[in-house]
Amino acid sequence: MKIIENQGKQIVTKKANSLLFRDFRRPLIEIMTDLRKPIQPRFLKHKTIKGRKIDFVSWYELNRLMDFYAPGFEWNINTSFDGTKVCVVGSLTIKAKEGDFTRSATGNENSDLDAYGDPYSNAEAQAFRRSCTRWGLGLHLWG
């Protein structure tokens, strides 16, 4: 048995190899309130696209934030390829006290990508970032 703390609440895990937050579900309104808070500047990165500087959060930092605010969330994808583009439809499910709730978004990338990463991982990262935004996480960056 292991005792951990999340947002001032103690959580007891029953097995050392069990999922950390397996039995921990918060009310949906609490999760959504937390997800809608502006992301702290330490998580932000910056890049310039077409001469315009933008702030963004990497997919792995969003994953960490989702783990913190919505423990036990699920991420599922469906991938398609039309010969020139990879398209990913991602579904982000939050496991709240009231039940499971899902929001989805898409990501796409040209197959002849001449930049960092590969078309599949880039499209999935884009879909994940957009799905997080549909829950309110990072929405303030789109304004």
Q: Determine, yes or no, domain membership for 13.
A: no
The side-by-side arrangement of strands in the sheet containing 85-96 is 74-81, 85-96, 99-110
> What does the pLDDT look like over 78-117, one tens digit per residue?
999 998 999 999 999 999 999 999 999 999 988 887 777 7
Q: Which tokens is 52 given? A: 């315009």
The whole-number pLDDT of residue 70 equals 95
Does residue 20 register a pLDDT over 50? yes
Q: Which tokens is 142 given? A: 């789109």
Residues 71 and 21: beta-carbon distance below 8 Å? yes
> What does the pLDDT look like over 39-69, one tens digit per residue?
999 999 998 888 989 888 999 999 999 999 9
What domain range includes position 116? 24-142
Residues 42 and 126: beta-carbon distance below 8 Å? no
Which residue in this structure is represented by tokens 């197959």? Answer: 111
Q: Which tokens is 54 given? A: 């933008």
> What does the pLDDT look like over 25-34, one tens digit per residue?
999 999 999 9
Q: Determine, yes or no, domain membership for 4.
A: no
Q: Determine, yes or no, domain membership for 16.
A: no
The whole-number pLDDT of residue 132 equals 97
- Which band of pLDDT confidence, cut at 50, 70 and 90, is reported for residue 142? confident
Greatest C-alpha distance within the chain = 53
Domain count for the chain, please give it.
1
CATH number of the domain residue 43 falls in: 3.30.390.80
- Which band of pLDDT confidence, cut at 50, 70 and 90, is reported for residue 6? low
Q: Determine, yes or no, domain membership for 105.
A: yes
Does residue 139 register a pLDDT over 60? yes
